[in-house]
């Protein structure tokens, strides 16, 4: 049995190690976001715009982009922050440190292997399931480690059984993460056994995409929003029960989508998005001054815009279930969700909390933060509108705007990555004056 040493020096050195590991996870996520994720997305969109249809593009390339963004970027950030959260336990077991390292190796290898397999198809019938096994193993190691997390000193006011509501929601997001990776493994095995390429078949992939968005990152972002937005935006107290209701409705939507009841599922997701916004009080005026020290003062505005994108994404997905003919409404709703909501929330909250988590740094440039968020939203708006008009042939004159939107979004993610990398390269705030 492991004996837990808890002298202050040991605790401090383990905290520092988890801080260093957090930076490694975050930098890894940024690399996946930039090259395998966004660069490939831009490349795909330029080819689709050139051909005036998405039908000619290899679905394996599209899936490589989506997987790199959802798991390579968002998933990697979540795992890094999850391991870092152990520093709030007060007592960090030694095995947590090596598990964080092993999990990083398994996870990074799995996600990179998936991307390379989709693009180059080298022994894909073996590599596709192997990548999914590695990803699942990395996530399981993470869950086995953080499941010991206790609320400690956290505010428990709105929860049952001593845990705050945000923690239940983050735990639900972690279960969604695990289910997503398990379904991904099943789909990879099925494809390897019966498919003709590493691309997952359309019907199965549609269901996987619901898991990869509504069952995991959306829920996790709600959890982190419940944890941080009341403080950072000075919002009225969280509606805890309403947020749990939003979660329950969202789970029902996921169930409906898995059954193939698309219209019902999308209507239910719209309901869950409305409930989450009401519960988090995102559009209520602040009752305390927002905490924007170190970040751009427009930070609360961008969080509110991100939640507007969540509502738009859910509304457009109802239209997609009713009227999509060429993938334009589905693609538009997906990017309203992934870029407008998820990426914008990571840009906003990430640049607010990660500098401190990664070793008491101060954000390199609040102005770069503003530029990255302004460009991300501009690119997203252009994309969401022109994808519907162009793909669905309502307004074919919009085709040339799609590559423009892609380059604007590429600039936005590059600025975000530069800002975080420069932040971590700077000395910590308490040492900055001494140098």
For residues 70 and 217, is the Cβ–Cβ distance under 8 A? yes
CA distance 32 to 29: 5
Residues 188-217 that bind ligand HEM (CB under 6 A): 205, 209
Task: Show the DSSP H helices in 76-198 as ranges.
Answer: 76-84, 94-120, 124-146, 165-194
- Least distance (Å) between residue 80 CB and ligand HEM: 16
Burial of 72 (0-12, 13-18, 19+ CB in 10 A): buried
3-state helix, strand, coil in the chain (%, to 5): 75, 0, 25
**DSSP secondary structure of 318-360:** HHHHHH-SSSHHHHHHHHIIIIIIIIHHHHHHHHHHHHHHTTS
Applying CB under 6 A, does 68 fall inside the site for ligand HEM? no
Binding segment (CB under 6 A) for ligand HEM, from list 181-189, 224-232, 247-255, 332-340: 332-340
Using CB under 6 A, which of the segments 16-24, 43-51, 109-117, 264-272 binds ligand HEM?
43-51
Q: Where does residue 37 rank: exposed (0-12), middle (13-18), buried (19+ CB within 10 A)?
A: buried
- Tell me the closest approach of the beta carbon of residue 316 to ligand HEM, in angstroms: 12
DSSP for 398-419? GTTHHHHHHHHHHHHHHHHHHH
Does residue 29 interact with ligand HEM by CB under 6 A? no
Q: Is 355 in the site for ligand HEM (CB under 6 A)?
A: no
- Rule CB under 6 A: is residue 62 a binding residue for ligand HEM? yes
DSSP state of 428: P
Q: Which is nearer to ligand HEM, 270 or 406 (CB)?
A: 406
Q: Residue 67 or 361: which CB sits closer to ligand HEM?
A: 67
Q: From the CB of 326, what's the least distance to ligand HEM, in Å?
A: 10
d(CA 351, CA 329): 31
Q: Tell me the window of 64-72, 75-83, 88-96, 303-311 that interacts with ligand HEM (CB under 6 A).
A: 64-72
CB of 331 to ligand HEM, least distance (A): 3
Only segment of 66-74, 131-139, 298-306, 415-423 that touches ligand HEM (CB under 6 A) = 66-74
User: Least Å distance between CB 305 and ligand HEM?
Assistant: 16
Tokens for 151?
């609320």
The Cα–Cα gap between 426 and 58 comes to 42
How many other β-carbons are positioned within 10 Å of the β-carbon of residue 431?
Answer: 12
For ligand HEM, which residue of 18, 26, 34, 70 counts as binding (CB under 6 A)? 70
- Binding ligand HEM (rule: CB under 6 A), the pick from 18, 21, 22, 74 is 74
Q: By CB under 6 A, is residue 99 in contact with ligand HEM?
A: no
The rounded distance, in Å, linking the Cα atoms of 266 and 263 is 5
User: How far is 25 from 14, CA to CA, in rounded Å?
Assistant: 16
CB-nearer residue toward ligand HEM: 167 or 390: 390
Which of 70, 79, 60 is closest to 32 using CA atoms? 70
As measured in angstroms, the least distance from the Cβ of 406 to ligand HEM is 4
- Shortest Cβ 393–ligand HEM spacing (Å): 14
Candidate list 23, 28, 29, 44; residue touching ligand HEM; CB under 6 A? 44
Contact flag: residue 38 with ligand HEM (CB under 6 A): yes
The CA-based diameter of the chain, rounded to the nearest angstrom, is 68
342 is an interface residue for ligand HEM by CB under 6 A: yes
Q: How far is the CB of 269 from ligand HEM (least distance, A)?
A: 15
Position of tokens 């990430």? 350
Mark 128-147 with x for binding to ligand HEM (rule: CB under 6 A) and - for no binding.
Answer: --------------------
Q: What phi, psi does 193 have (nearest 5°)? A: -80, -35
Stretch binding ligand HEM (CB under 6 A), from 60-68, 84-92, 232-240, 259-267: 60-68
Is 339 one of the binding residues for ligand HEM (CB under 6 A)? Answer: yes
Query: Which phi and psi angles does 117 have, rounded to 5°?
Result: -65, -45
Binding site for ligand HEM (CB under 6 A): 38, 41-42, 44-45, 48, 54, 62-63, 65-66, 69-70, 74, 205, 209, 331, 334-335, 338-339, 342-343, 406, 409-410
């Amino acid at each position: 049995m492991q004996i837990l040493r808890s002298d202050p020096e040991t605790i401090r050195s383990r905290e520092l190690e988890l801080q260093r590991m957090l930076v490694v996870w975050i930098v890894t996520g940024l690399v996946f976001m930039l090259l395998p994720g966004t660069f490939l997305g831009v490349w795909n969109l330029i080819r689709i715009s050139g051909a005036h249809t998405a039908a000619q593009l290899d679905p394996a390339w599209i899936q490589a982009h989506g997987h790199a963004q959802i798991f390579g970027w968002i998933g990697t950030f979540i795992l890094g922050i999850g391991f870092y959260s152990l520093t709030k336990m007060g007592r960090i077991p030694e095995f947590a440190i090596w598990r964080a390292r092993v999990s990083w190796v398994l996870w990074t290898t799995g996600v990179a292997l998936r991307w390379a397999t989709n693009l180059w198809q080298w022994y894909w019938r073996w590599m596709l399931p192997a990548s999914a096994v590695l990803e699942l193993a990395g996530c399981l190691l993470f869950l086995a480690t953080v499941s010991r997390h206790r609320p400690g000193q956290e505010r428990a006011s709105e929860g049952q059984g001593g845990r705050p509501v945000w923690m239940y929601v983050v735990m639900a997001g972690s279960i969604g993460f695990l289910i997503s990776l398990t379904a991904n493994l099943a789909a990879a095995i099925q494809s390897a056994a019966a498919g003709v390429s590493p691309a997952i078949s359309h019907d199965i992939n549609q269901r996987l995409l619901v898991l990869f968005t509504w069952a995991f990152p959306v829920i996790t972002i709600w959890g982190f929003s419940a944890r941080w937005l009341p403080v950072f935006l000075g919002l009225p107290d969280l509606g805890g029960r309403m947020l749990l209701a939003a979660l329950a409705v969202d789970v029902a939507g996921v169930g409906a989508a898995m059954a193939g009841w698309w219209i019902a599922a999308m209507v239910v997701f719209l309901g869950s998005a409305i409930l989450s916004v009401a519960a988090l009080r995102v559009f209520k005026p602040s009752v305390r001054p927002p905490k924007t020290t170190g970040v751009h003062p427009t930070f609360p505005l961008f969080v509110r815009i991100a939640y507007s994108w969540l509502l738009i994404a859910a509304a457009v997905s109802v239209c997609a279930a009713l009227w999509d003919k060429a993938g334009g409404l589905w693609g538009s709703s997906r990017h309203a969700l992934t870029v407008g909501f998820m990426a914008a929330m990571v840009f906003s909250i990430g640049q607010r909390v990660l500098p401190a988590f990664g070793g008491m740094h101060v954000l390199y440039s609040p102005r770069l933060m503003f530029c990255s968020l302004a460009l991300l939203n501009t690119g997203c708006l252009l994309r969401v509108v022109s994808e519907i008009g162009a793909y669905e042939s309502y307004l074919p004159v919009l085709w040339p705007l799609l590559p423009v939107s892609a380059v604007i979004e590429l600039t936005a993610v590059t600025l975000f990555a530069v800002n975080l990398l420069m932040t971590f390269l700077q000395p910590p705030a308490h040492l900055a004056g001494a140098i």
